[in-house]
Amino acid sequence: MITFTAPTIANIENNDLRQQLQQIIDLKTKPLGALGRLETLALQLGMIQGTLTPNITQPQIRVFAADHGLTKHGTSAYPSAVTAQMVYNFLQGGAAINVLARQHNIELKVVDAGVDADFASSPFKDHPQLLDYKVRHGSRDALTEPAMTEQECLAALENGMNVVKDMVGNLLIVGEMGIGNTSAASLLLARLGNVAIADCIGRGTGLDDAGLQHKTDILTQVLARHSEVQAPFDILAALGGLEIAMMAGALIQAASERRILLIDGFIASSALLAAERLAPGVAQYAIFAHHSVEPGHAHLLKLLNAEPLLNMGMRLGEGSGAALAYPLLQSACAIINEMASFSEAGISEQNN
């Protein structure tokens, strides 16, 4: 039996640091709490980085792409070929995440975790934004066998960790592209979070009512097929996807290096839940960008005790919601580092 050994995840809690950060924030030239969640965000960033002067350097987006064998059962409104087509779109700079990454000066690279296409023989084979960590050409059909063998799941986790080991900067956004990955995320939420599968499933890429019912029926059968699987690693292998496993590995490694994890929507949160189950403590390093309209995301946020920064009615994935929220983190750092205190500005403080 294969086991996954996670790196050490440091506990960020430090009462002295928390009190010092809070005092710095409270003494800024404003009424107590007047900047609302920007203040709590600044404190959270300081706790994650273990410093009174949090900052963000060279933020990174890694979009993990893979196909899913389960899609042969009609669980998605789009064909699997769209995964590779969207990778080409990313590499040509035409996707939403490209636009937002350019706007906010975040470096973007695409990770081939398991796309059912051969990029090595394509015009993009030497593209500087394409990272080849392919484990296999798409996951297996989870209705008939585990989505990944133990060895494939371990390889995906370790590849995700290696992606981060080679990465500069101190903030990571994990995005994804994979037709069928809302099914994998729903299955992981149902089993890891003990949530009824019907409450985990949304329309994904745009299923109609009949398609949604069919998706629910198929995923119910998948869970029954793997009813004996209970350990987190085994659940990830049986029900997950190559890109989700690789994202989980990336999040685990990033947390072990005290990087900030800016978490996107439903798929990214499912990867974080898997990472937290495999390496308790990872979620301490997470800041949740937005509330996806995918129904399962609300359950994931509750499980992870998370309060997202934005609610924009988004469900695109790719890391787009996280990129949109990124400037709020910049503002939080600027406030704690650059805003004057009452004494510095020569302003009288509030009467006690």
- Residues with catalytic function: 318
What are the angstrom distances between the C-alpha of 203 and each of 54, 179, 182, 303, 315?
A: 39, 12, 9, 21, 10
Instruction: For residues 340 and 344, give the distance between their C-alpha atoms in angstroms, rounded to a whole number.
Output: 6
Instruction: For residues 187 and 197, give the distance between their C-alpha atoms in angstroms, rounded to a whole number.
Output: 7
What 3-state class would DSSP assign to 48?
A: helix
Output the six-digit token pair for 192.
């890891």
Cα–Cα–Cα angle for 50, 55, 61, nearest 5°? 105
Q: Please name the amino acid found at residue 130.
A: L
**CA atoms within 13 Å, Cβ hemisphere of 217:** 8
Q: What is the helix (H) or strand (E) element at residue 266, kind and residue range?
A: helix 266-278
Q: Give yes or no for a contact between 297 and 288, defined as CB atoms under 8 angstroms apart.
A: no
**Strands 286-288 and 107-114: what pairing?**
unpaired
Output the six-digit token pair for 170.
């101190």
Instruction: For residues 214 and 129, give the distance between their C-alpha atoms in angstroms, rounded to a whole number.
Output: 37
Q: Please name the amino acid found at residue 241.
A: G
What 3-state class would DSSP assign to 211?
A: helix
Contacts 24+ apart (CB under 8 A), 116-125: 116/67, 116/80, 116/83, 116/84, 117/83, 117/84, 117/87, 119/84, 119/87, 122/88, 124/88, 124/91
Nearest to 263 by CA among 288, 246, 299: 288
Q: Please name the amino acid found at residue 305.
A: N
Alpha helices in 50-167 (DSSP H): 81-91, 96-104, 150-165
